[in-house]
Amino acid sequence: METFKAIGEKLKNATNGGFVVDTDEIKKNIDDIIVNPLSTKLNETVAYANNEINATTKKWQSSTTSSSSKKSQSDGDTTAATITITLRITGLGHNMTLKDLSSTTMTMAELMTKIYNSTGIIPRYQRLIGPRGLKIDSNNDNSNDNGNGGDEKTLFEIGIKDRTKLILMHSPLYSNEKDSYEKLIGIEKEINDLKNSILIRESISNNNNNDHKKPIVVSEMVTRICCKLDLVDTVGSIFIRLKRKELIKKVEGLETIR
């Protein structure tokens, strides 16, 4: 393959000598020297650029997939994570601090049960007032037979955060059922006291090996308590009616203790 200088000399000599120049040969030499190397270099550059683009695209796609996967996993971990909080409950003569509560798993029903264990106020008669207009009543209605209700949402779902202060008040149901409920609670205490007395006398008789002990007569006391229960107004509440029925069954069972 001739160089540019050699081609130039050939053209000069051919012109001076009056010879006809072989243009095909010169064109071939120019192609070999300029066109072909440039074309090859251009193809190599294009191929390199395409490879870089493909590699960058794959890397970006891989990075995006990994980020999405990590974000999804992170979101799942956040949802599943246990958030422990402390609450302060005050009101109706009570002041308590409840610690180590799992806001992501504990429901309002469970929180109200905890409050009941400390205050004796059943969830049915609880109303909790919190910040930013938060107001929580038990979801009990008159069809509930035990008063242990409450919202099934978790503390986290309701928006109760750590160090939240809640004011304990009576629910609207309490004002309507208060008198009847308190009468039933008083009668229930009387039933429990009678039962304990019977059990104590039975225990003493057994320790004295008295095989001919006289049966303990409780019929009169049971009848008297049943009359008290009949006088309790249910105020249209199924809850009160079922509570009264439960106590009647309980006191009648005392006659079977021997």
Rounded distance between C-alpha atoms, residue 115 and residue 34, angstroms: 93
Residue 91 near residue 170, CB atoms below 8 Å: no
The pTM (predicted TM-score) of the whole model is 0.60
pLDDT in tens, 173-186: 999 999 999 999 99
Average confidence (pLDDT) over 133-155:
65
Q: Which overall architecture, per CATH, does domain 84-170 show?
A: Roll (3.10)
Q: What is residue 36's predicted lDDT score, i.e. its pLDDT?
A: 66
Average confidence (pLDDT) over 63-71:
61
